[in-house]
């Protein structure tokens, strides 16, 4: 089970930041030198902070906006600070009515090729996400910075572009080392060592400048001083996707909805940052068919791939459930798409609470809830119906080691609604795919709503 991006998915935390006086009197936001750490959905906490990155200029394809969602019954005052990789900054403030949302488009406010944003909020219960105008990628905002970050699956070959958007939301410089792993082994490019990101600053780290024309590149970011927010941006043909990575490696991951549709591509991409070879096993469930386990050995400091679709041993029959286990800690991503381009997705997030937003207004083709534990879960879905309307809650039971669709559990689709999910244990996993042809080629990350 991977550690949440504090995360993902967006969380709301007890903070040390205090918004001073009336928000409209502020000329610039004040960002704490150390990040708050306690996360909560409580609406009673004094203030919270969210940190968002991933969006780029049109040059790199991830053009879009940040959406802030107020899940509470009270109006929230928000101060927003935006930084670009050109060193430019912009500040604004606004209010978000209860059960409503506001958007910010960083690329419209400051010049640059990548953007980081801090939102200081007077109270709890607000979550955020970056989404692209091309309607193909979502990166949750986080509420605590990252000291270590792992990701797999980047592609720097011709026709592709891979980069890390790195945002330092604190008042002190952050210093880090970035190492890479590929089929040819380990690399610690000198320009990526001792890398410094200034206070409240944003950088774009182009992986292709140091790892040239390489498929399936794994990355480890080790922050030596300070903390950062990292989101990988992958362009593959016409597709642009976010890889939000994880704070630790995994040995056991569930992928409950992996497409097997004709003309689709689906690959499990694995990075082994350790000094011992990893044996990785995939158990594929695709009723009514029986599929033999898929096994691969990933060398030390290397990467590998296991194809799900197309695969001559796996029929084209909708969504398969894939369970990955490894005898050594690894980093995992899922690549889905078509021959002209693929999208990267982080995998394995589990939590006790999520916010699901129909960010693109089309609903979801698959909306699966998975209980990764052996214990039965009680899950409560609270439907936010907009400003001025009280939310409606429904509850359902999810047995251990099972996956069920959202609509089958709660009798309603996710089109056009925002939903808060809360489970009785932190073993709930949410999988969302956008409506696409072929089916299931774009996955969207749900927001961790703690």
Q: What is the mean pLDDT of each run of 10 residues along the chain (450 residues)?
A: 41 33 34 30 61 96 95 94 98 95 96 98 93 92 95 97 98 98 96 98 98 97 98 96 96 97 98 98 97 98 98 97 98 98 93 92 95 96 83 95 96 92 95 96 81
Tokens 């101060």: give the residue. 79
3-state secondary structure (DSSP) of residue 337: strand
Numbered ranges of CATH 2.60.290.11 in the chain? 13-132, 250-346
Name 188's Cβ contacts closer than 8 Å, sequence gap at least 6. 177, 179, 180
| CA–CA distance, 219 with 280 (Å, rounded to integer) | 19
> Selecting from 3.30.460, 1.10.10, 2.60.290, 2.70.98, what CATH number does the domain 148-243 have?
2.60.290
Domain 13-132: CATH architecture, name and number where available = Sandwich (2.60)
Domain 250-346: CATH architecture, name and number where available = Sandwich (2.60)
3-state secondary structure (DSSP) of residue 359: coil
Beta bridge partners of 47: none
- Phi then psi for residue 408, to 5 deg, are -70, -30
Tokens of 377: 């879960």
- Residues listed for the chain: 450
CB 138 within 8 A of CB 8: no
User: CA nearest 231: which of 356, 128, 130?
Assistant: 130
Q: Are strands 174-182 and 428-433 parallel, antiparallel or unpaired?
A: unpaired
| CA–CA distance, 335 with 344 (Å, rounded to integer) | 5
| CA–CA distance, 75 with 96 (Å, rounded to integer) | 6
Name 167's Cβ contacts closer than 8 Å, sequence gap at least 6. 51, 52, 53, 83, 116, 117, 197, 201, 202, 228, 229, 230
User: CA nearest 260: which of 342, 333, 321?
Assistant: 321
Tell me, what DSSP letter sits at residue 349?
B
Range 353-448 has CATH code 2.60.290: yes
| CA–CA distance, 73 with 389 (Å, rounded to integer) | 9
- Phi then psi for residue 24, to 5 deg, are -70, -10
User: CA nearest 157: which of 234, 271, 100?
Assistant: 234
- pTM to 2 decimal places: 0.89
Query: Which stretches of 209-249 are assigned E, i.e. beta strand?
Result: 217-225, 229-236, 239-243
Give residue 45's pLDDT: 45
């Amino acid at each position: 089970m991977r550690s949440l991006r504090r995360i993902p998915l967006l969380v709301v935390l007890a903070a040390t930041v205090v918004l001073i006086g009336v928000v409209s009197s502020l000329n610039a936001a004040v960002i704490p030198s150390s990040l708050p750490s306690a996360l909560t959905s409580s609406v009673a906490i004094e203030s919270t902070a969210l940190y968002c990155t991933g969006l780029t200029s049109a040059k790199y394809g991830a053009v879009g906006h940040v959406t802030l969602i107020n899940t509470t019954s009270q109006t929230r005052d928000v101060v927003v600070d935006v930084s670009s990789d050109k060193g430019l900054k912009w500040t604004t403030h606004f209010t978000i009515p209860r059960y409503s949302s506001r958007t910010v488009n960083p690329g419209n406010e400051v010049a640059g090729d990548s953007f980081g944003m801090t939102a200081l909020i007077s109270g709890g219960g607000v979550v955020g996400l970056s989404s692209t105008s091309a309607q193909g990628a979502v990166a949750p905002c986080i509420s605590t910075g990252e000291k270590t970050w792992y990701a797999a699956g980047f592609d720097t070959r011709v026709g592709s572009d891979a980069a890390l958007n790195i945002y330092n939301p604190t008042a002190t410089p952050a210093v880090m080392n970035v190492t890479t792993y590929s089929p040819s082994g380990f690399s610690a490019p000198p320009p990526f060592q001792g890398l410094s990101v200034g206070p409240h600053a944003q950088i774009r780290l182009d992986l292709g400048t140091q790892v040239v024309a390489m498929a399936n590149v794994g990355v480890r970011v080790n922050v030596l001083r300070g903390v950062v927010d990292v989101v990988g941006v992958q362009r593959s043909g016409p597709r642009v996707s976010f890889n939000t990575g994880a704070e630790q490696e995994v040995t056991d991951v569930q992928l409950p909805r992996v497409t097997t549709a004709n003309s689709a591509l689906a690959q499990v991409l694995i990075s082994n940052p350790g000094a011992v070879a990893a044996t990785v096993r995939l158990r594929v469930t695709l009723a009514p068919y029986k599929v033999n386990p898929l096994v691969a050995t990933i060398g030390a400091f290397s990467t590998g791939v296991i194809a799900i679709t197309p695969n001559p041993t796996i029929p084209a029959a909708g969504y398969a459930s894939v369970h990955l286990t490894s005898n050594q800690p690894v980093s995992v991503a899922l690549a889905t798409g078509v021959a002209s381009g693929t999208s990267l997705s982080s995998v394995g997030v589990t939590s006790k609470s999520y916010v699901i937003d129909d960010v693109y207004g089309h609903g979801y083709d698959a909306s699966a809830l998975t209980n990764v534990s052996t214990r039965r879960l009680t899950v409560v879905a609270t439907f936010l119906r907009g400003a001025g309307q009280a939310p409606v809650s429904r509850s359902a039971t999810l047995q251990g080691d099972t996956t069920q669709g959202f609509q089958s559990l709660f009798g309603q689709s996710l089109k056009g609604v925002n939903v808060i999910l809360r489970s009785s244990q932190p073993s709930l996993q949410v999988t969302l795919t956008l409506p696409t042809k072929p089916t299931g080629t774009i996955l969207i990350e749900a927001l961790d709503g703690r």
